[in-house]
Amino acid sequence: MIKDITIGQYVPGNSFVHKLDPRVKILISLIYIVDLFIVNSFKGYIFIVLFTIISILISKIQFSYIYKGLKPIFILVIITAVLNIFMTTGINPPLFKWKFLVVYKEGLVMAAFMAIRLIFLIIGTSLLTLTTSPIELTDAIEKLLNPMKKIGVPAHELAMMMTIALRFIPTLMDETDKIMKAQMARGADFQSGNIIQRAKNLIPILVPLFISSFRRADELAMAMEARCYTGGEGRTRMKQLKLTNKDFMASVCVFALVCVSILSRMWWH
């Protein structure tokens, strides 16, 4: 399950999506996330589903790999859906009532919306990291934050921290998997018992994981200092970010998706 997490991983490729400017991909991802909450009908999500499928096909990322990244969040999706079912009230008579548990039609609709939004949010963010290298992400975030330098925001440092944190997600997952296997070889049991017992059994993993994380952070800091890393001031780049016709085409497609989503609110409200 831990190895199934794909957020933060990069799959090299030469597809249309890979070649897009990373700044454009970040902005498209943000607009895509906002668009998920603009749509307020199931018919409206047809356009988002088509856009997502076409994007995956163009990126040449295998659907099995996308599904692999979704598997770890299924429990979170189920918990979110259940909470929305029982915590959303409605104006119509309840569909089901037992003691303090009451289910309204509005609760079922809201649960379905939140599940769809959460699933496609993960797909959108995963597609960004799967098609964009960590170096490109760092340069793009720094470029986007450059205007905020005028008010004293350390753009390069923030971009570097965000990218390193994103990049180390799969590394920490691999480290966690290795520690769990080592503990299981020594007789630890992470499968039996209820949820509380399983959570308690995970406590011995935290100490070696924290130690390993601090060690990796120290090694990374020493490596950066050994290479005379001084931050973003005066830093040059081997590849300069330039907008191309592909970026404008992708921007037009996303703009069209947003327009259709807004119209869908008026058509199918």
Determine how many CB atoms are found less than 10 A away from the CB of residue 144: 16
Give how far Cα 131 sits from Cα of 8, 139, 238, 269, Å. 10, 15, 19, 35
Q: Count up the domains in the chain and report the number.
A: 1
* DSSP annotation of 222: H
Q: Nearest CA to 104 among 112, 113, 95, 115?
A: 95
CA–CA dist 150, 137 (Å, integer): 22
Which residues of the chain have a pLDDT value below 50?
A: 1
Structural contact between residues 98 and 114, judged by C-beta atoms closer than 8 angstroms = no
Question: Counting Cβ atoms within 10 Å, is residue 171 exposed (0-12), middle (13-18) or buried (19+)?
Answer: middle
Q: How many residues does the chain have?
A: 269
Q: What pLDDT does residue 190 have?
A: 67
H or E element, residue 195: helix 195-201
Long-range contacts of 260-268 (CB under 8 A, 24+ apart): 260/47, 261/35, 261/38, 261/39, 261/44, 261/47, 261/48, 262/38, 264/39, 264/41, 264/43, 264/44, 264/47, 265/38, 265/39, 265/40, 265/41, 265/44, 267/43, 268/41, 268/43, 268/44
Residue-wise pLDDT tens digits, 206-223: 788 888 888 888 888 888
Q: How far apart are CA 56 and CA 146, in angstroms?
A: 30
Check: pTM over 0.95? Answer yes or no.
no
Distance, CA of 96 to CA of 12 (rounded, Å): 50
Range of the domain at 116: 2-267
Q: How far is CA 5 from CA 161, 210, 220, in A?
A: 20, 19, 23
Over residues 147-198, the pLDDT tens digits come to 777 787 777 777 777 777 777 777 777 788 788 788 778 777 766 666 677 6
Residue 252: predicted pLDDT: 92
Please state the separation of Cα 94 from the chain's center in Å.
35
SS3 102: strand
Angstrom distances, CA of residue 33 to CA of 30, 101, 107, 224: 5, 32, 22, 34
- pLDDT of 30 reads 92
Cβ neighbours of residue 87 closer than 8 Å, sequence gap 6 or more = 107
